[in-house]
Structure 1
């Protein structure tokens, strides 16, 4: 199921990436108000899910952390841009995006505010940019004139690839000769093995399954470039926060607690609960990928956002000539005010 979208912000929003990392759990069902003791202004939050995945808000609801708020599933997102378009146009109440794309959207005057991190990169969760064994591509220079498969343009994969090329000393003109091709993640491995592309971005389950089959090797990894970092955030509109501060607080609080549950619970328990949630909601999904879940990848405790997770991309976009020096400041760009772990160390 998909939903109709208004045309506002569509051009700018085409750069957005949304991702869901899958987790699940069980917990206390007795919470009815936010930590501030205020009842949410709304009874439900509209959102889009992802086939075969359990998002942290979904996990929070299953844990009982979100009550009395309920989630209203309106369909599965087909892409990051579509997910964020739905938030800005008011078709949904929250959605997620790559932080660099969020910066670009805010620069384009999109009325959104990042409120909590929801995916990232760590020792267990990362994306590799893979070539076939025996490929002549050994360095960044070798990518000139080649094709790299990514899931969408203007988001996580494109930013990482261009940073890799920049650090290797390629000129702007040389970088333009590296072609990014949009390929659905589920077919990227097949497309690489068929030699229709030269490099494929693979992460999570798709990467692990591809590695099991062998015959590929990473040219580089996003973790090699940036270390451990949170890469994307859930956003709310400024209007939603203004009109529903208690609901915004409850949403972030519950999601933060769900993230911490997944971070601190044994992997086997997370996997088992995730499988149970998918089977119970009866959306005719394949839950077989659950065994590959390893970690949240999120750097900050409870999804706390740090300046560097946005400042990095502000500077990147300035250097790319996409936004002007001083056009955006990290101050006020995001907020941790609703996160219950805001006064704790990460």
Structure 2
């Protein structure tokens, strides 16, 4: 059931995008729905799921319709009305907005810090030592046009490679669970690894970090949850409850001892009975969101608008970054005047 539902979301997303501007899944005339449909992640607990378990969403219910491993697909589903909210890398949010999708980012939900980061790893004895050594090599990542590829481009540009030289670095899509094995079998030269997959690879040994997104840019929020503008207009209190609750959950995860957070998340996975393993949670360290309450900073979207324009994916000035997001629905931020 989960797989078929996810397939339906992927196939129907594009055809429904046009309809998103004139209606939402909550239906015409509906105000402040108390249920939000969403996609989750197997073996993981998303900030909204944590917020619900902590009681921060009040009587607002989350309706899980399946899992996804693709941020661009997740926000496309939200934009097309297949779900009520979705989350993705901020570059994907900019790109979808450039296609005139009527979406708005409302809160950050993941990022990179000293605990939560993506590393770019090579075999320990690899001859790859410098950015220029990557020319002609294969870099394995979970998806193209998103976080991993953006960081690679920034790394290459920062270290003096021209656009033409950077394009000679081959980017290969590899399922996350197969990335380490692909590196060890020399099917790829560089593996992008994060979380439990990174930790397991390091425990096994024989790999060396070339760089990480955290080392490249410091702590930063990298992805946001989006809703359609019409949904926000029709359901302002729902959105306020959602954003404030998720923000409180993010802050709780930072302020609470890690063991307690992991124990709570493990209990959530066990209780929802989705036939999944909670083993990955043993390696959980942080959501990586840099701003209190999940506040969105303009620079966190602007940097990707610039990256996409440089790639030719969008035209320079095609999107106005301040129009892509709002912090208005976070009560905690409103109290501080942010």
The offset of 1:263, in angstroms, is 1.1
The offset of 1:8, in angstroms, is 5.4
2:24 aligns with none
**Which of 283, 291, 314 pairs up with 2:274?**
283
Asked if the contact 2:243/2:329 (under 8 Å) is kept, the reply is yes
1:241 aligns with 232
1:186-215, CA deviations, whole angstroms, 9 ceiling, x for partnerless residues?
110011001110000001111011100111
Instruction: Tell me whether 1:85 sits opposite 2:76 in the alignment.
Output: yes
The offset of 1:138, in angstroms, is 0.8
**Matching of residues 30-49 of structure 1 within 5 Å:** 41-49=32-40
3-state SS of 1:271 partner: helix
What is the CA–CA distance in structure 2 between the aligned matches of 1:78 and 1:294, rounded to whole Å? Answer: 20
What is the CA–CA distance in structure 1 between the aligned matches of 2:315 and 2:70, rounded to whole Å? Answer: 28
1:112 aligns with 103
The structure with the greater share of residues assigned to helix is: 2
What is the CA–CA distance in structure 2 between the aligned matches of 1:83 and 1:98, rounded to whole Å? Answer: 10
What is the CA–CA distance in structure 1 between the aligned matches of 2:209 and 2:337, rounded to whole Å? Answer: 34
Question: Normalising by the residue count of structure 2, what TM-score does the alignment of the two structures yield?
Answer: 0.90
1:44-87, CA deviations, whole angstroms, 9 ceiling, x for partnerless residues?
11111110011111111111111211111111114223212221
Instruction: Tell me whether 1:76 sits opposite 2:104 in the alignment.
Output: no
What is the CA–CA distance in structure 2 between the aligned matches of 1:322 and 1:89, rounded to whole Å? Answer: 21
The offset of 1:253, in angstroms, is 1.0
1:103 aligns with 94
The offset of 1:7, in angstroms, is 4.8
| Residues 176 and 71 of structure 1, relative CA distance in 2, 3 Å threshold | same
What is the CA–CA distance in structure 2 between the aligned matches of 1:327 and 1:75, rounded to whole Å? Answer: 33
The offset of 1:246, in angstroms, is 1.1
3-state SS of 1:212 partner: helix
The number of aligned residues is 320
2:162 aligns with 171
2:21 aligns with none
2:27 aligns with none
2:292 aligns with 301
3-state SS of 1:326 partner: coil
The offset of 1:43, in angstroms, is 2.1
Instruction: Tell me whether 1:203 sits opposite 2:171 in the alignment.
Output: no
Instruction: Tell me whether 1:268 sits opposite 2:259 in the alignment.
Output: yes
Instruction: Tell me whether 1:54 sits opposite 2:42 in the alignment.
Output: no
Asked if the contact 1:9/1:110 (under 8 Å) is kept, the reply is no
| Residues 165 and 318 of structure 1, relative CA distance in 2, 3 Å threshold | same
What is the CA–CA distance in structure 2 between the aligned matches of 1:263 and 1:340, rounded to whole Å? Answer: 19
Asked if the contact 1:301/1:341 (under 8 Å) is kept, the reply is no
3-state SS of 1:286 partner: coil
What is the CA–CA distance in structure 1 between the aligned matches of 2:13 and 2:233, rounded to whole Å? Answer: 20
In structure 2, runs of 5+ residues without a counterpart are 18-30
Question: Normalising by the residue count of structure 1, what TM-score does the alignment of the two structures yield?
Answer: 0.88
In structure 1, runs of 5+ residues without a counterpart are 13-39
1:155 aligns with 146
What is the CA–CA distance in structure 2 between the aligned matches of 1:142 and 1:161, rounded to whole Å? Answer: 13
What is the CA–CA distance in structure 1 between the aligned matches of 2:73 and 2:95, rounded to whole Å? Answer: 16
More displaced 10-residue stretch of structure 1: 130-139 or 161-170: 161-170
The offset of 1:112, in angstroms, is 0.8
